[in-house]
């Protein structure tokens, strides 16, 4: 057991082999943890800042203590310690012997990525013996004993014999030690090193079929679920990461998106093969705002050659609140998985970030569905505007998913296949609609022109771009007499206008242009000349046409690739007033171009790598609605009777700084709420819309957020909510004296989850028919927090002559990348009958089958309640007794949170929605 000197060596496991060994000697207590002040430091998010202690006792035995001694008190926490396969309870101690393996996280069978250390006697270290052996052998070789012995005399020969004998003894001793180590390690490896966390399930092969051990209750179909938690009895529908990944052997590729990530935990805890292609898209405050293409992707671990981390970019036109760093407000915030398998693809949308804490110690929502593999690829399914053979438009689940992924891999061509490969799967049975948000200033979609109605069956969508080079084409240098300008004015005036005030223009490839072989020329042609598609065959120039500019270089690169391959054909339209204004030098604004995309002669053929990248760019640029506009698009398919509304709630772990009547009204209006129709207001452009005035007078949404009192019963204390909840103190100071915001307390549901932090983002609008007890409505869940940063904020464009073609002049400003789903339980058919509504009974249902993660109806805030803001949590912890504070502090340290870390949120950025960027 222990040697007479009581000296031991602690060696980190293979995954931390870069750490130095520590010799443990009597008279000192050695601390192990994540903090840099520890004696043995493990940089692993699952390890507490001060995880455990080791020391040599009076009997020269090595003792492990789970926790940290502070005087007479033992500070307990929710960390885990295993000695071999046995879990050590909180606050207890265990004598270690040489050969023991200590795990600081739950060990996984056959994993080489475990976090922990082994114990050896300092006097019998196999490394020390091996080092001595190598040194002696080197000395023997250096002196060339064998070759020089005969020439150096009998005395040296005797010395050589003694050295050889010593070497042979060391070799025998080393072999014996290696044999003992092998026997010990073999017996340990035969134990079931299965983590005690309920989400680490062992995958076993039984009778040729793969099944997940312990997952008999895993739901066999898609649905809305909750994550399994440590020390909480799971319900029938709760799922873990291991459940969702099973069977692991069937996964061919994996795409994961998250805000914060613990990649080491993910790839090591679930036995992912090192050769499995895994792409992880996440946020990085430096790389996401960098303009360098090289910062968009990295291979962080050489042992995992197929693991790629992607950092989606933010648009350069974003406003910034730190001009010196040129970094805007916003974050990459979606949380989803795509699992390509042999016969299907699994889509998982969750509210949980990719880390141990949020999957095992915080309540989160999970939705998933499997979609079968097609017999043949169908690229048309990636375009929601495409009309099927039955005369109906494609469902837009695949189109929105492909378009969203293409924005994440914008500057990483090698990952473009994630968007185009969705054509291999059939998404027609999707039970939900996707709602995405993408950063930028978004404008109303350009309509499909009536003049192209006969081409609608091959129509794929519209791309909004610009015309480059007009100012140069009509500058005094190129047009000294103004003849080209006068010809342009005459041609534009002779062209017929469509209902939007636009005219058709001709596109033509210019492959022989030295400056850009991908160039696409834009020309104005007289009405007597037939317009042709931009397609695989070249268009012969005619004398009557007048070139006015080019497609922007970056757009031309992928347009020309699809055009030259015959995959797509194109037609374009623009506003003549804009062209004349820029050409005459009277305007400095850009000339907008509507690029209408149609199927080419070879559309549907298998794509090359370059064509995959070009198709991904097309999917990214196809006009789509995001944020509030997308919410309107999905819900506007049904008529929602406000008079039958039962509840309208939104529970969010983060509330933006712009929580006011304007945003609340915008969200309610997007959700289908209407104002009473007063005939006297019919001339008002916002007639019938739910406005800020309506919202201030009659708050429509119950905003669900935990009160400060709710945190007093938290399982690990109030500090465990830090990094989970975000409610700016200045927002509370602004709204507490008004009735504009209808706040309600968040009580976790089911009761077994009470006291556990919630990180959910769930909205529900529920109705009941006046003639039936059956409910209907819709539920949203995903990554969108209740803030304009996530859903968007309406911004009025400055009025100018250049904007006469647009009405209304409104844009939607979105800060974040977000993704969520909406489940719709459609209403029965309503028909107006005088002042009342009658109901036609239909077979529908489903909304009452979902159990929300919080209690509904949620209790309304009393006059004494206040939300759990950052400063309120800090003050609450300060008011606790010293002993309780110590316990809570240690509990928080397991999550990387200590009492000293909890800051008062008085220093907030000036940007309205900056708080949403900092929250999880």
Residue 94's CATH number: 2.60.200.20
845/598: higher pLDDT: 598
C-alpha closest to that of 875 among 729, 754, 736, 656: 729
In the chain, % of residues over pLDDT 90: 47
Encode 443-469: b = buried (16+ Cβ within 10 Å), e = exposed.
Answer: eeebebbeebeebeebbbbbbebbbbb
- Residue 195: is its pLDDT beyond 50? no
Question: Omega of the bond prior to 857 within 30 degrees of 0, cis?
Answer: yes
**Segment among 120-124, 167-171, 774-778 with least mean pLDDT:** 167-171
For residue 180, report the phi and psi dihedrals to the nearest 5 degrees.
Answer: -65, -45
Answer with the one of 605, 622, 648 that is the final residue of a domain: 605
Position 380 in a domain = no
Bridge partners, 507 (sequence order): 522
Contact between 828 and 776 under an 8 Å Cβ cutoff? The reply is yes
CATH number (domain holding residue 586): 3.30.70.2330
List, as residue ranges, the binding site.
Answer: 761
Strand partners, 465: 593
| Residue indicated by tokens 């039962």 | 646
Q: Is the pLDDT of residue 840 over 90?
A: no
Judgement on whether residues 564 and 638 belong to the same structural domain of the protein: no
Q: What is the mean pLDDT of residues 314-332?
A: 58
pLDDT band at 889 (very low <50, low <70, confident <90, very high): very low
Segment among 439-448, 538-547, 786-795 with least mean pLDDT: 538-547
Percent of the chain scored above 70 by pLDDT?
A: 74
Best CA proximity match to 396, nearest among 443, 346, 434: 434
Asked whether residue 30 is assigned to any structural domain, the reply reads yes
| Sign of the torsion formed by the C-alpha atoms of 766, 816, 260 and 620 | positive
User: In the listed set 75, 101, 124, which residue is the last one of a domain according to the structure?
Assistant: 124
Which residue has better confidence, 117 or 218? Answer: 117
Distance of CA 208 to the CA centre of its chain: 35
Q: How confident is the model at residue 73 (pLDDT cuts 50, 70, 90)?
A: very low
Does the residue 658 lie in any domain? yes
553 and 643 co-located in one domain: no
Q: Report residue 689: phi and psi, to 5°.
A: -85, 150
Of 29, 65, 34, 31, which Cα lies nearest the Cα of 48? 34
**Predicted confidence (pLDDT) at residue 692 exceeds the cutoff of 60:** yes
Six-digit token string for 686: 């916002």
Tokens of 32: 């192990």
Distance CA 764, CA 814 (A): 22
CA–CA–CA angle 238, 244, 250 (5° rounding): 155
What is the rounded CA–CA span in Å between residue 482 and residue 475?
Answer: 9
Cα–Cα distance measured from residue 229 to residue 214, given in angstroms and rounded to the nearest whole number? 15
Which residues are within 8 A (CB) of 6 and not within 5 positions of it... i.e. 6 or more apart?
25, 26, 56, 60, 61, 62
- In angstroms, rounded to a whole number, what is the distance separating the alpha carbons of residues 332 and 784? 11
Residues assigned a catalytic role: 759
303-306, long-range: CB within 8 Å, 24+ apart, which pairs? 303/274, 304/267, 304/274, 304/278, 305/274, 305/275, 306/274, 306/275, 306/276, 306/277, 306/278
Computed over its alpha carbons, how large is the radius of gyration of the chain? 33
- 189 within some domain: no
Count Cβ neighbours within 10 Å for each residue of 777-797 and write b for 16 or more, e otherwise: bbbbbbbbbbbbbbbbbbeee
Structural domain includes residue 138: no
d(Cα 109, Cα 213) in Å, to the nearest integer?
14
Estimate the crossing angle of helix 609-621 against helix 397-408, to 10 degrees. Answer: 110
- Does 662 lie in the same domain as 595? no
Detail the residues annotated as belonging to a binding site for substrate.
761
Q: Report which of 17, 19, 24 is spatially closest to residue 120, judged by C-alpha positions.
A: 24
Q: What is the pLDDT of residue 112?
A: 65
User: Is residue 912 situated within a structural domain?
Assistant: no
855 and 707, same domain (yes or no): yes
SS (H, E, C) 577-595: HHHHHHHCCCCCCCEEEEE
pLDDT at 223: 73
Strand partners of residue 64: 54, 94
Two tokens, residue 465? 């771009």
Beta-ladder partners of 223: 368
Based on the fold, state whether residues 745 and 670 are members of the same structural domain.
yes
For residues 348 and 283, give the distance between their C-alpha atoms in angstroms, rounded to a whole number. Answer: 19
Q: Higher model confidence: residue 846 or residue 689?
A: 689
- Are 559 and 434 in contact by the 8 Å Cβ rule? The answer is no
Whichever domain contains 367, its CATH number is 3.30.870.10
pLDDT digits (tens, 9 = 90+) for 654-687: 998 888 999 999 999 999 998 876 544 555 556 6
At residue 892, φ and ψ (nearest 5 deg) are -70, -30
Beta bridge partners of 725: 722
User: Is the pLDDT reported for residue 150 higher than 60?
Assistant: no
> Confidence class of residue 302 from pLDDT cuts 50, 70 and 90?
confident
Query: Which of 92-96's residues contact partners 24+ apart within 8 Å by CB, and which partners?
Result: 92/65, 92/66, 93/63, 93/64, 93/65, 93/66, 94/63, 94/64, 94/66, 95/61, 95/62, 95/63, 95/64, 96/8, 96/54, 96/61, 96/62, 96/63, 96/64
For residue 159, what is the enclosing H or E element? helix 154-189
| pLDDT recorded at residue 370 | 95
505 within a domain of the structure (yes/no): yes
Q: Summarize pLDDT for 718-748 with one digit per residue, the tens.
A: 878 888 999 999 999 999 888 889 999 999 9
pLDDT digits (tens, 9 = 90+) for 9-18: 998 887 676 6
| CA proximity to 418, closest of 310, 567, 555, 540 | 310
| 247 upstream amide cis, omega within 30 of 0 | yes
Q: What is the DSSP letter of 134?
A: H
Given strand 365-372, what is the order of strands in its sheet? 223-226, 365-372, 344-350, 336-341, 251-257, 278-281, 307-310, 297-298
**Which residues does 93 contact at the CB level (< 8 Å), separation at least 6?**
63, 64, 65, 66
- For the chain, the maximum distance between any two Cα atoms, rounded to a whole number of angstroms, is 125
Q: Determine the Cα–Cα distance for residues 503 and 578; give it in Å rounded to an integer.
A: 11
At 191 the pLDDT is 28
Q: Where are the beta strands (DSSP E) in 201-240?
A: 203-206, 209-212, 223-226
Q: How many domains does the chain have?
A: 4
Helix, strand or coil, per DSSP, at residue 792: coil
Q: pTM score > 0.85 for this model? A: no
Mean pLDDT within 424-437 = 95
Q: Which of 20-29, 601-610, 817-826, 903-912 has the lowest mean pLDDT?
A: 903-912
Identify whether residues 554 and 659 lie together within a single domain.
Answer: no
Tokens 């909205």 — which residue?
Answer: 763
In a domain, 797, yes or no: no
**Do 321 and 332 form a contact (C-beta atoms < 8 A)?**
no
Band (912; pLDDT cuts 50, 70, 90)? very low
State the pLDDT at residue 645: 93
Q: Is the pLDDT of residue 897 over 60?
A: no
Under the banding of pLDDT at 50, 70 and 90, the label for residue 900 is very low
pLDDT: is 800 or 629 the higher one?
A: 629
Q: Within 13 Å and on the Cβ side, how many CA atoms surround 634? A: 28
State the DSSP H helix or E strand holding residue 265, giving kind and residue range, or none if neither. helix 263-269
Claim to verify: residue 355 and residue 487 sit in the same structural domain: no
Instruction: Calculate the alpha carbon distances from 412 to 253, 348, 417, 611 in Å.
Output: 17, 23, 10, 14
Q: Is 782 left (phi over 0), alpha (psi -120 to 50) or beta?
A: left
598 and 649 housed in the same domain? no
**Residue among 96, 83, 21 at smallest CA distance from 56:** 96
User: What is the average pLDDT value for the chain, to the nearest integer?
Assistant: 79
Binning pLDDT at 50, 70 and 90, where does residue 192 land? very low
pLDDT for 394: 60
Contact in structure between 24 and 11 (CB atoms under 8 Å): no
**Do 498 and 555 belong together in one domain?**
yes
Residue 481 structural domain: 446-535+543-605
CA-based angle 186:190:191, to the nearest 5? 125
Range of 368-377, 713-722, 730-739, 843-852 with top mean pLDDT: 368-377
Rounded to an integer, what distance in angstroms lies between the CA atom of residue 500 and that of residue 385?
A: 19
DSSP 471-507: HHHTSTTT-TTSHHHHHHHHHHHHSPP-TTS-EEEEE
**Contact at 8 Å (CB) between 524 and 485?**
no
Return the H-helix or E-strand segment holding 129.
helix 126-143
655 lies in the same domain as 550: no
Count of C-beta atoms within a 10 Å radius of residue 541: 13
The answer on 636 and 783 residing in a single domain is yes
**Is residue 650 domain-shared with residue 550, that is, in the same domain?**
no
């Amino acid at each position: 057991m222990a040697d007479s000197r009581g000296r031991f060596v602690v060696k980190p496991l293979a995954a931390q082999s870069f750490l130095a060994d520590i010799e443990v000697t009597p008279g000192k207590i050695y601390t192990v943890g994540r903090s840099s002040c520890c004696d043995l430091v493990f940089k692993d998010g699952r390890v507490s800042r001060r995880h455990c202690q080791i020391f040599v006792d009076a009997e020269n035995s090595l003792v492990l203590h789970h926790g940290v001694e502070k005087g007479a008190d033992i500070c307990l926490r929710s960390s885990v310690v295993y000695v071999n396969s046995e879990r050590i309870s909180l606050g207890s101690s265990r004598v270690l012997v040489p050969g023991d393996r200590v795990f600081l996280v739950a060990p996984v069978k056959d994993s080489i990525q475990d976090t922990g250390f082994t114990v050896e006697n300092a006097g019998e270290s196999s490394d020390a013996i091996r080092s001595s052996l190598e040194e002696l052998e080197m000395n023997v070789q250096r002196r060339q004993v064998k070759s020089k012995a005969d020439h150096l005399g009998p005395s040296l020969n005797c010395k050589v014999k003694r050295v050889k004998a010593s070497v042979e003894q060391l070799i025998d001793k080393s072999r014996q030690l290696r044999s003992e180590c092998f026997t010990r390690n073999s017996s340990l490896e035969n134990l079931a090193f299965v983590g005690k966390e309920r989400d680490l399930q062992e995958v076993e092969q039984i009778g040729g079929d793969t099944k997940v051990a312990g997952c008999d209750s895993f739901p066999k179909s898609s649905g809305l679920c909750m994550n399994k938690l440590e020390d909480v009895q799971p319900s029938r529908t709760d799922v873990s990461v291991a459940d969702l990944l099973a069977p692991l052997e069937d996964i061919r590729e994996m795409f994961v998106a998250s805000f914060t990530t613990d990649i080491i935990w993910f790839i090591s805890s679930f036995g992912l093969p090192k050769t499995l292609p895994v792409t992880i898209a996440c946020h990085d405050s430096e790389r996401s705002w960098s303009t360098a293409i090289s910062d968009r992707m990295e291979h962080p671990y050489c042992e995992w050659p197929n693991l790629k981390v992607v950092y989606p970019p933010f648009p350069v036109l974003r406003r910034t609140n730190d001009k010196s760093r040129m970094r805007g407000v916003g974050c990459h915030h979606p949380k989803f998985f795509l699992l390509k398998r042999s016969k299907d693809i699994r889509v998982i949308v969750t509210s949980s970030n990719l880390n141990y804490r949020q999957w095992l110690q915080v309540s989160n929502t999970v939705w998933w569905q499997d979609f079968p593999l097609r017999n043949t690829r169908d690229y048309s399914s990636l375009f929601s505007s495409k009309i099927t053979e039955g005369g109906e438009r494609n469902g837009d689940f695949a189109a929105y998913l492909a378009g969203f992924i293409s924005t994440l891999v914008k500057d990483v061509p090698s990952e473009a296949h994630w968007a185009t490969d969705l054509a291999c799967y059939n998404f027609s049975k999707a039970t939900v609609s996707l709602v995405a948000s993408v950063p930028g200033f978004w404008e109303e979609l350009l309509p499909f022109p009536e003049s192209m109605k006969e081409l609608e069956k091959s129509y794929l969508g519209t791309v909004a771009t610009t015309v480059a080079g007009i100012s140069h084409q009509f500058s005094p240098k190129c047009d000294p007499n103004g003849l080209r300008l006068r010809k342009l004015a005459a041609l534009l005036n002779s062209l017929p206008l469509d209902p939007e005030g636009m005219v058709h223009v001709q596109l033509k490839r210019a492959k022989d242009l030295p400056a850009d072989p991908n160039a696409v020329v834009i020309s104005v042609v007289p009405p007597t000349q037939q317009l042709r598609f931009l397609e695989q065959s070249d268009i012969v120039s005619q004398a009557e046409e007048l070139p006015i500019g080019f497609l922007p270089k970056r757009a031309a690169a992928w347009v020309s690739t699809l055009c030259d391959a015959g995959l797509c054909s194109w037609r374009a339209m623009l506003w003549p007033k804009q062209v004349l204004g820029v050409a005459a030098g009277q305007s400095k604004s850009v000339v907008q171009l509507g690029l209408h995309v149609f199927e080419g002669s070879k559309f549907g053929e298998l794509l090359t790598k370059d064509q995959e990248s070009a198709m991904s760019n097309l999917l990214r640029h196809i006009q789509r609605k995001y944020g509030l506009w997308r919410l309107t698009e999905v819900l506007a398919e049904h008529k929602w009777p406000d008079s039958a509304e039962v509840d309208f709630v939104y529970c969010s772990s983060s509330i933006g700084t712009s929580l006011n009547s304007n945003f609340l009204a915008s969200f309610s209006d997007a959700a289908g709420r209407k104002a009473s129709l007063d005939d006297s207001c019919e001339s008002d452009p916002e007639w019938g819309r739910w406005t800020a005035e309506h919202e201030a007078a009659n708050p429509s949404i119950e905003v669900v957020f935990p009160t400060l009192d709710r945190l007093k019963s938290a399982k690990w204390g109030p500090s465990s909510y830090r990094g989970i909840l975000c409610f700016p103190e200045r927002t509370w100071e602004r709204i507490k004296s008004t009735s504009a915001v209808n706040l309600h307390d968040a009580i976790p549901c089911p009761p077994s989850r009470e006291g556990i932090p919630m990180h959910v983002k769930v909205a529900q609008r529920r109705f009941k028919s006046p003639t039936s007890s059956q409910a209907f409505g819709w539920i949203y869940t995903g990554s969108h927090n209740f803030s304009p940063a996530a859903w968007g904020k309406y911004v009025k464009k400055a009025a100018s002559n250049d904007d006469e073609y647009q009405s209304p002049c409104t844009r939607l400003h979105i800060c974040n990348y977000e993704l969520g789903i909406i489940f719709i339980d459609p209403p029965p058919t309503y028909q107006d009958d005088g002042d009342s509504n009658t109901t036609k009974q239909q077979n529908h249902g489903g909304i009452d089958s979902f159990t929300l993660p919080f209690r509904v109806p949620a209790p309304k805030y009393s006059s004494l309640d206040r939300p759990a803001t950052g400063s309120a949590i800090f003050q609450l912890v300060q008011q606790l007794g010293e002993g309780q504070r110590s316990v809570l502090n240690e509990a928080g340290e397991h999550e990387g949170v200590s009492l000293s870390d909890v800051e008062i949120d008085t220093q907030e950025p000036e940007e309205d929605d900056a708080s949403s960027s900092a929250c999880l």
